[in-house]
């Protein structure tokens, strides 16, 4: 397994585009957090007063940072498309097989690399959350909402495997990037149209992109806390969380995992049936 990861790492080690996209991703997140934290609303001392930095207090920070980081999953998805389609464009998948890997190993190595990237991205998000949390908090329950990080991991894997599927399906960088981006852009429109047509908005919540993107929900609880200027009781918090989404977080995570399994399964099926 390490052998395959080592091969993949050598493919990107000197690939400038890969590192530039990663650096853009890594720089944007703290910049945006910084921007939001500097923002404030209303007059200090009044109930309507809130400041952006409170989004990054423990334990909200886990929700806040993963929510912001999730905006840039599109960027990372494109990165995945790029490194997979490159091997098709350069015919190097083929060459890797000629040189002595099996077709399954070639795909497994890409999948392992995708997992490793997701781990790295989550580690980075953890560090950023921790740093901003420490910067804006005065103690409190630091890790009580840390489960958002685990959910965020599922989300990155969700986007990555979708990008993986599209790349395997289309094999052309530009086409796969367009399909991946369009899927994400068209999703809200599709959601709206379907809910209006059938007069119900619960079923659309199960559309793959909705399931995956809502894994890191808008930090609504934080917003209402700030607006009301009060600290809610635990019961109110639970109501708030429930109102935040139609599907409960555990069920959503399970559904997302099923989608991930489908993406991987279909990718594998396509590769098995097709010549490289």
Partner 1 sequence: MSATILEINKLSKKYKDVLALDSLSLKVEKGTVFGLLGPNGSGKTTTLGILLGVLRQSTGSYSWFENGDATENRLRIGALLETPNFYPYLTAVRNLEIVAKIKKLNNPSERIDSVLKIVNLYQRKDSNFKTYSLGMKQRLAIAAAILNDPEVLVLDEPTNGLDPQGIAEIRELIITISKEGKTIIIASHILDEIEKVCTHVAILKFGNLVRQGTIEDIIGGDNFVIIAANDMALTKTAIDENPQMKISKTAETEITIKVSKEMTTEMINQYFFDKGIVLSKLKSHSESLETQFLEIIK
Tell me which residue of 23, 17, 24, 27 sits closest to 83, measured CA to CA.
Answer: 17
| Spatial separation of the C-alpha atoms in residues 23 and 30, rounded to whole Å | 12
- Which distant-in-sequence residues (6+ apart) come within 8 Å of 87 by Cβ? 11, 93, 96, 106, 110
**CB-wise, 61 or 101, nearer to partner 1?**
101
**CB-wise, 86 or 216, nearer to partner 1?**
86
Rounded to the nearest whole angstrom, what is the least distance from the CB of residue 206 to partner 1 in the complex? 37
| Spatial separation of the C-alpha atoms in residues 114 and 2, rounded to whole Å | 13
Rounded to the nearest whole angstrom, what is the least distance from the CB of residue 245 to partner 1 in the complex? 43
**CB-wise, 11 or 252, nearer to partner 1?**
11
**CB-wise, 2 or 235, nearer to partner 1?**
2
| Spatial separation of the C-alpha atoms in residues 99 and 169, rounded to whole Å | 24
- Which distant-in-sequence residues (6+ apart) come within 8 Å of 7 by Cβ? 96, 101, 109
| Spatial separation of the C-alpha atoms in residues 31 and 37, rounded to whole Å | 10
Rounded to the nearest whole angstrom, what is the least distance from the CB of residue 88 to partner 1 in the complex? 11
Binding residues vs partner 1 (CB under 8 A): 3, 6-7, 10-11, 13-16, 86, 90-92, 94-103, 105, 275-276
Rounded to the nearest whole angstrom, what is the least distance from the CB of residue 172 to partner 1 in the complex? 17
| Spatial separation of the C-alpha atoms in residues 17 and 229, rounded to whole Å | 46
**CB-wise, 40 or 91, nearer to partner 1?**
91
Rounded to the nearest whole angstrom, what is the least distance from the CB of residue 21 to partner 1 in the complex? 14
């Amino acid at each position: 397994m390490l052998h395959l990861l080592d091969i993949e790492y050598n493919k990107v080690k000197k690939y400038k585009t890969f590192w530039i996209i990663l650096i853009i991703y890594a720089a944007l997140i703290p910049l945006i957090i910084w921007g939001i934290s500097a923002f404030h609303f209303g007059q200090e001392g009044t109930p309507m007063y809130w400041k952006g930095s409170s989004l990054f207090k423990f334990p909200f920070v886990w929700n806040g940072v993963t929510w912001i980081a999730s905006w840039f999953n599109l960027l990372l998805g494109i990165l995945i498309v790029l490194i997979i389609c490159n091997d098709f464009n350069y015919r190097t998948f083929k060459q890797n097989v000629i040189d002595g890997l099996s077709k399954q190993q070639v795909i497994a190595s890409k999948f392992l690399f995708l997992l490793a990237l997701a781990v790295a991205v989550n580690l980075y998000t953890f560090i950023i959350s921790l740093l901003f949390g420490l910067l804006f908090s005065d103690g409190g329950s630091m890790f009580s909402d840390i489960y958002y990080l685990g959910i965020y991991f599922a989300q990155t894997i969700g986007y990555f495997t979708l990008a993986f599927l599209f790349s395997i399906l289309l094999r052309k960088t530009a086409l796969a990037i367009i399909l991946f981006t369009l899927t994400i852009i068209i999703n809200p429109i599709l959601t709206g149209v379907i809910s209006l047509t059938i007069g119900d908005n619960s079923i659309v919540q199960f559309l793959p992109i909705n399931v995956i993107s809502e894994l890191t929900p808008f930090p609504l609880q934080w917003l209402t806390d700030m607006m009301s200027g009060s600290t809610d009781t635990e019961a109110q918090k639970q109501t708030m969380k429930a109102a935040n989404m139609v599907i409960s977080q555990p069920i959503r995570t399970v559904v997302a995992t099923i989608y991930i399994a489908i993406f991987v399964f279909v990718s594998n099926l396509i590769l098995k049936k097709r010549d490289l």
